Chain A
Amino acid sequence: MLRTRTTGARRVPTVIAAAAAAALLTLTGCSGPQPGGGAAEATGQEQFTQADIDAALQEPTELTFWAWGAQYPSVVEAFNAAHPDVKVTLASQGSGSDHYTKLQNVLKAGSGVPDVVQLEYSVMPQFALGESLVDLGQYGVDSMQADFSESCWQGSKVDDALYGLPQDAGPLAMFYRQDVFDQFGLTVPTTWDEYVQTAQQLKAADPSRFIAADAGDPGAASALIWQAGGRPFQVEGERVSVDLADPGSTTWADNWQRLIDGDLVDTATPGFTPEWNAGLASGKYATLVTGAWAAGTLQRRIPDAAGAWRVAPLPQYGSGTAVSGQTGGSVSSVMATSEKKLAAIGFVQWMAANAESAQIWVDEGGFPCTSATLASPEWLDREVPYFGGQQINRIFAESAEQVGEGWAFLPFQAYANSVFPDTVGQAYVKQTDLQGGLRDWQETITTYGESQGFTVE
């Protein structure tokens, strides 16, 4: 017994140390010095011209570029080949949230920040607000407006300042399985009412199939609210207004609730998981409503389903003028901390607008933002074998023109999206309904916004 007591007593400090060390595991990632407000742009007084930028591309320069899009390796390779003096190194930090987490960490640490980054339209305002991005307008890049489609261009601006050049876009469309529609004698829906009816028919014919997989995705939900005319987020400097009970949001919620209530969508399978892949490959899901970039995603992720998929215009809420929304799509931004801003801007310009780059982009299944490509008959008429030789780009291009105006993302959209499953997601596991979920989401967003010093109304 005595032995027990002494060994036990000696162990106590070890125990506390172990507990404390374990607690620290959650903290190690948070360390790092203050970056001093993100090194504000200091070159505002000087005037740079396109000639300066072009000259910078003749100097020996090394740039780092963080991006995850599948087309970037080829684009960067082509840029390096065309510019012998400049060497761009592409680094992938994982897609989506992993990429942004890494970026936030290096910004906080103040070292290891890349020169150029890929940022989705939804996340760009957050980094712009943190003064982490170069306002390209100060370098005369605004003059490129005509090179890009209107919705891409607007998505690259915050408060009228240009924080990147648009690279790709995600106008909505409906991908569907022609084989499944044929097998069950379904007709392609053109309105959301028809979509729900089609879903019911499919369910009645084969209960193991669903019209779609949707476990709650903030990007997709926002895009369909956008289509329904909702403009839940409005931002004016430090004032943010959030109204997830506006008519558009409510229209979406009422419509989508029917699909959840009828078990017509598979709410147990989140996107981009192995289960989701398997379902898309097997025909378990008859449709996929998402951005045009999914044409490339499907071809890469599910090559075996070649010939089975087709594309149709997005179903509409009413019978009036067709309206579309957008999900995903990104800009290339130059970081404010970069010491090679001119060359970095030159690289971004080449990537976004050069004809060679644009060609690589669409050849590898990316959706373009350049007006020239969007209007080119060669691209529009392209028959894509994976989609049974369908001219899918015509449908996407039409959708891009129908994207509703005036949408804005929150300056902390990444956080808002991270808590979407905790709030709206609860409607998918039937703990609440979508309207209730949207109310909870609004509440969480408001609390967070206020804690960050915004005036939220």
Chain B
Amino acid sequence: MVTVAPVRRTPRRVQGSSTRRWVGWGFLAPFAVVFVFTLIAPIAYAVNLSLFQERLIGGTVFAGLDNYRFALRDPQFREALWRVVLFFLVQVPVMLAVSAFAALALDSARLRWSALYRISLFLPFAVPGVIAALMWGFVYGTDFGLVGNLNSTFGLSLPDLLSSRWVLAAMANISTWAFLGYNMLVMYSALRTVPRELYESAAIDGAGTFRVVRSIKLPAMRPAFVITLVFSVIGSFQLFNGPNILRTLSPNTIGTNFTPNMYAFNLSFAGQQYNYAAAIAIIMGVLTAVVAYVVQVAGIRNGGAR
């Protein structure tokens, strides 16, 4: 009897705890199923694709890391990558600075009809990227477009914004226009969470407007800066829609490898090099995740140091 009781109790305990463990999975299942099928499975498939080479002559062969090795030495891929890095370094600071200014202006309570400004600045974000690119394509046209009309009406000679000299700036303009309002809104909502009492205390302490901005508002916007910066990293590295549409207007200046994504797209759909394109997409995905992570960690660390 003495020996039987613990034996009986042990399986019961195991049974009970395992049930409890499965209950947890059950709650997780709706998320897990979606997560596995929409994220893990496609990535696994892409990784698998990237390890092979399918040829018009000779069929499919296992290539190991050959596609990755080739990509790292591929001058066309490097050129594309360098271009989006340059884009990120120039466009993002400008866009975030203007967004921050707009957010501070809206929050200053000195604007009449601030709701109107808020919605107007945000409106471009609601325009689908494809439509926006088409619209700007018409604006930039030197013959058919707005630039052309300005030239002929006022006798100006505005430069061709889709020439190789200006094309990157033209793209940056479209991105800034499209995402300024969105970033502004993220920063503005961060400002709205600052307790009003803080401003009152600051006023009692004799802080002026600029002191309040520097010591209260900007620090309060830090998390918003970090998150908008992270989104901008992703947006810049994955640049595709705008240049791909404007390419029809200026195929010689916007090449098939203008951005890494366009390069992968052309390789895959014009060149049927699905495997190499998959390798490039994986490299870009990893690179984007790493940069975004570094930005995030750096943002938190500096915030903690204050």
> A448 CA to B266 CA in the complex, in Å?
13
Q: Does A58 contact B (CB under 8 A)?
A: no
Judge whether B269 and A452 touch: CB under 8 Å.
Answer: no
A-B contact pairs, 8 of them (CB 8 A): A4-B304, A12-B296, A24-B281, A26-B264, A108-B274, A270-B248, A275-B141, A419-B266
Judge whether B265 and A26 touch: CB under 8 Å.
Answer: yes
Judge whether A273 and B164 touch: CB under 8 Å.
Answer: no
Interface residues of A (CB under 8 A from B): 1, 4-5, 7-9, 11-12, 15-31, 34, 37, 97, 101, 104-105, 108, 129-130, 215-216, 238, 267-270, 273-275, 278-279, 284, 411-412, 414-415, 418-419, 421-422, 425-426, 428-429, 431, 448, 451-454
> A97 CA to B281 CA in the complex, in Å?
22
B39, B53, B58, B272: the one contacting A21 at CB < 8 Å is B39
Judge whether A421 and B251 touch: CB under 8 Å.
Answer: yes
Judge whether B42 and A31 touch: CB under 8 Å.
Answer: yes
A-B pairs with CB below 8 Å: how many? 182
B56, B226, B284, B304: the one contacting A411 at CB < 8 Å is B56
A130 to nearest B CB, angstroms? Answer: 7
Q: Does B256 contact A (CB under 8 A)?
A: yes
Q: Does B207 contact A (CB under 8 A)?
A: no
Judge whether A421 and B252 touch: CB under 8 Å.
Answer: yes
> A7 CA to B56 CA in the complex, in Å?
51
Q: Does B261 contact A (CB under 8 A)?
A: yes
State which of B43-51, B104-112, B169-177 sits at the interface with chain A: B43-51
Judge whether B230 and A8 touch: CB under 8 Å.
Answer: no
Judge whether B300 and A5 touch: CB under 8 Å.
Answer: yes
Query: B-side binding surface: helix, strand, loop or mixed?
Result: helix
Interface flags for B247-284 (1: CB within 8 Å of A; 0: not) read 01111110111000100111011111110011001101
Residues of B within 8 A of A7 (CB): 223
A371 to nearest B CB, angstroms? Answer: 34
For the complex, count residues of B whose C-beta is within 8 A of A.
71
Judge whether B288 and A22 touch: CB under 8 Å.
Answer: yes
B59 to nearest A CB, angstroms? Answer: 7
Judge whether A452 and B285 touch: CB under 8 Å.
Answer: no
Residues of A within 8 A of B266 (CB): 418-419
A19, A108, A415: the one contacting B285 at CB < 8 Å is A19
Q: Knowing A20-B285, A26-B265, A425-B252 touch, does A275 contact B144 (C-beta < 8 A)?
A: yes
Residues of A within 8 A of B253 (CB): 429
Judge whether A5 and B304 touch: CB under 8 Å.
Answer: yes
